[in-house]
């Protein structure tokens, strides 16, 4: 019998964020999620722009579905570049992009970033994407376990996104499907707080895709929902030949893309204290030098711009924090780890105490030695708490191992 795609999309701002930087889409031929980053409006602009371009592929693919999907992803990247060039305050914005294109027989998968796609078949869940993240590279190298990755201080740092840069290197593949299969695309707002086992059980037990999506959103909220969460679910179903016309079915757009705003309009993007700014380090844009510009600028303009720049820079630096070391202890610093000549741009803020650097497992010790950036003081304190937890777990494993002669760190406080 002919196959069709049943679908649903849901998105929620979560319990911590002020705005939704996720965008999602579900239609007869296309399922897609984009998780924007870059801080405030910039992340919303990037994810919305990506979905706007991807939606154009929501039709029966003419030719190789991977080529069709690749062209749509490239168009999304170009649109982000265009918007960033039009408004310099959006420089560095980006978005993940994970999408599935249905051709009536198979699904073409396009993926870049850390939004995930899963396949549920016969009650078993398989992740069909690979996270483009720093911690995934550590897992691939065998330096940490997948369980460690869920609690790693740098778990949100992505290594590849759509950011307007060229070339881009998404992952593409063909997914063979059969009746009864369910596919899920989600932002990390779901996968960071709901385990794969919980996702598997929910997708398998839900009577409809709508029930599954609603339940997954509810589970995320129950877990605290520290980030925006978006889920898009599709189900492969058999239909009678007389019911195979699907083009007229309703499409579903959620998140930032549902606001129906022109990304070129609105207020300039803001980049103050938002952790999304730090998810991906923007690369420098190389622009051609303009010739013929007047080389002389008035002294008044220079002074005004210089004063404004210094004021903004001072405010920005004072709002930054990072994790480093002080006298062998893990410590919190305020500012950034850079110097301007003799001027230090950071100062010691706090030494939480009873957390020796040497008590940390090797991988965390190296990262603290190189410093770990934090979006604000609360995040810095959460990172210290996580590091203390990892150190205490490592000590517990050492002290309970048979005939263990491993060093126990008396200066480590595990009473929390």
- Greater pLDDT, 283 or 253: 253
Average pLDDT on 254-282 reads 58
Domain 3-259: CATH class, spelled out = alpha beta
Q: What is the pLDDT of residue 295?
A: 43
- Contact (CB, 8 A) for 193 and 226: yes
- Please check the confidence at residue 13 and state whether its pLDDT lies above 80: yes
Tokens of 302: 């220079």
Domain with CATH 3.60.40.10 in the chain: 3-259
Q: What is the pLDDT of residue 378?
A: 84
- Contact (CB, 8 A) for 118 and 127: yes
Q: What is the pLDDT of residue 152?
A: 86
Tokens of 347: 């100062």
- Greater pLDDT, 242 or 186: 186
Q: Say if strands 229-238 and 3-12 run parallel, antiparallel, or are unpaired.
A: antiparallel
| Cis-peptide, bond into residue 293, ω within 30° of zero | no
For 313-332, b/e burial (b = at least 16 CB within 10 A) is: eeeeeeebbbbbbeeebbbb
- Please check the confidence at residue 242 and state whether its pLDDT lies above 50: yes
The dihedral through the CA atoms of 257, 263, 267, 269 has a sign that is positive
- Count other C-beta atoms under 10 Å from residue 29's C-beta: 22
Q: Over the stretch 339-367, which tens digit does the pLDDT of each residue have?
A: 554 445 677 888 888 899 988 888 788 88
Q: What is the pLDDT of residue 406?
A: 52
Average pLDDT on 210-223 reads 98
- Give the rounded percent of residues in the chain with a pLDDT score beyond 70: 78
Measured distance CA(259)–CA(256) in Å, rounded: 6
Q: What is the pLDDT of residue 285?
A: 38
pLDDT confidence tier of residue 409, bands split at 50, 70 and 90 = confident
231 bridge partner residues: 10, 186
Q: What is the pLDDT of residue 392?
A: 87
- Please check the confidence at residue 127 and state whether its pLDDT lies above 80: yes
Q: What is the pLDDT of residue 282?
A: 42
């Amino acid at each position: 019998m002919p196959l069709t795609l049943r679908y649903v999309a849901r998105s929620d701002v979560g319990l911590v964020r002020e705005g939704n930087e996720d965008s999602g889409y579900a239609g007869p031929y296309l399922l897609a999620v984009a998780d924007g980053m870059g801080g405030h409006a910039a992340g919303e602009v990037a994810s919305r722009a990506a979905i706007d371009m991807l939606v154009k592929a929501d039709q029966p693919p003419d030719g190789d579905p991977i080529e069709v999907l690749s062209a749509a992803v490239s168009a999304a990247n170009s649109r982000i570049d265009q918007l960033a060039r039009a408004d310099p305050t959006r420089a560095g914005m980006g978005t993940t992009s994970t999408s599935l294109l249905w051709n009536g027989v198979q699904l073409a998968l396009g993926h870049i970033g850390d939004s995930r796609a899963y396949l549920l078949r016969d009650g078993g869940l398989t992740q069909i994407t690979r996270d483009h993240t720093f911690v995934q590279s550590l897992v691939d190298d065998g330096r940490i376990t997948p369980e460690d990755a869920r609690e790693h201080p740098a778990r949100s740092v992505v290594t590849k996104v759509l950011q307007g840069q060229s070339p881009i290197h998404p992952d593409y593949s063909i997914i063979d499907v059969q009746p009864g299969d369910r596919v899920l695309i989600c932002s990390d707002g779901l996968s960071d707080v709901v385990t794969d086992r919980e996702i598997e059980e929910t997708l398998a037990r839900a009577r409809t895709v709508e029930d599954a999506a609603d339940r997954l959103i509810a589970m995320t909220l129950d877990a605290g929902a520290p980030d925006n969460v978006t889920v898009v679910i599709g189900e492969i179903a058999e239909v009678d030949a007389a019911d195979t016309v699907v083009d007229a079915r309703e499409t579903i757009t959620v998140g930032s893309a549902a606001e129906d705003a022109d990304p070129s309009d609105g207020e300039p993007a803001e980049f103050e204290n938002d952790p999304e700014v730090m998810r991906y380090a923007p690369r420098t844009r190389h622009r051609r030098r303009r010739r013929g510009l007047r080389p002389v600028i008035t002294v008044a303009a220079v002074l005004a711009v210089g004063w404004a720049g210094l004021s903004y820079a001072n405010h920005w630096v004072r709002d930054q924090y990072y994790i480093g070391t002080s006298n062998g202890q893990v410590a919190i610093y305020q500012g950034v780890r850079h110097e301007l000549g003799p001027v230090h741009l950071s100062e010691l803020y706090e030494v939480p105490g009873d957390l020796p650097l040497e008590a940390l497992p090797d991988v965390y010790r190296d990262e603290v030695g190189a410093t770990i950036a934090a979006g604000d003081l609360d995040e810095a304190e959460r990172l210290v708490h996580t590091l203390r937890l990892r150190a205490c777990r490592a000590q517990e494993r050492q002290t309970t191992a048979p005939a263990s002669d491993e060093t126990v760190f008396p200066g480590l406080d595990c009473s929390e």
